[in-house]
Amino acid sequence: MAALGTYSLKLSLAGTDKTAEISNCRLVVGDADADFVSFADANAGGAKEWRLQGTATQDLSTGSIWSSVFTSPGTTSAAVLRPNGGTTASATQPTFTGNVTLSLPDGDFLGGEANASRTAKFTWDFDFPFSAAPVMATS
């Protein structure tokens, strides 16, 4: 068994490594909001919605996650999540891929509380919906 560690996760958006910008990242699944649920959907447990959620630094540089969301909310971006790090998917180190929509957060997006630490950073929480369930690649 290859249990996941808490230090090696990597995230890429639009082909660019964003690992240095994030301190929290997860795939979240929940019930989809639906006005119509077919019997087939209900029998399968209901429609599900996948999301990429996490915490990122408030980096105002061009190309950062923050800057991309600020300048182009609603844009679709290819996401690659590597929970075990590495560069190549395998049976013990799968990669999860899909397209997410860059979405403005509800709540804090810029600024925050003062901190005497010289290395502390302002952060914000992101919540990007997937267009479909992510795909797990093992090779």
pLDDT of residue 2: 67
What is the tens place of the pLDDT at every residue in 97-116?
A: 999 999 999 999 999 999 99
Q: Determine the Cα–Cα distance for residues 116 and 30; give it in Å rounded to an integer.
A: 38
Residue 109 CB neighbours (<10 A): 15
Domain count along the chain: 1
Give the domain range for residue 128. 10-32+47-107+119-133
Residue at 3 is within a domain: no
Residue 95 lies in a domain: yes
Cβ neighbours of residue 17 closer than 8 Å, sequence gap 6 or more? 10, 11
pLDDT at res. 121 = 96
Taking only the tens place, the pLDDT of each residue in 28-38 is: 999 888 778 78
Dist. CA 106–CA 15, nearest whole Å: 26
What residue type is assigned to position 20 of the chain?
Answer: A
User: DSSP state, 74?
Assistant: T
Residue 138 lies inside a defined structural domain of this protein: no
Among the listed ranges 1-5, 75-79, 97-101, which one has the minimum average pLDDT value?
A: 1-5
pLDDT, tens digit (0-9, with 9 covering 90-100), for 41-66: 788 777 789 999 999 999 999 999 99
Q: Is residue 51 a contact partner of residue 79, using CB atoms and an 8 Å limit?
A: no
Look at residue 113 and tell me if it is in a domain: no
- Closest Cα partner for 79 from 58, 63, 110, 100? 100
Residue 1 placed within a domain? no
Q: Which two tokens stand for residue 6?
A: 């808490």
Q: Is residue 92 part of a domain?
A: yes
Residue 86 lies in a domain: yes
- Domain membership of residue 37 (yes or no) is no
Mean pLDDT, the chain, whole residue set:
93
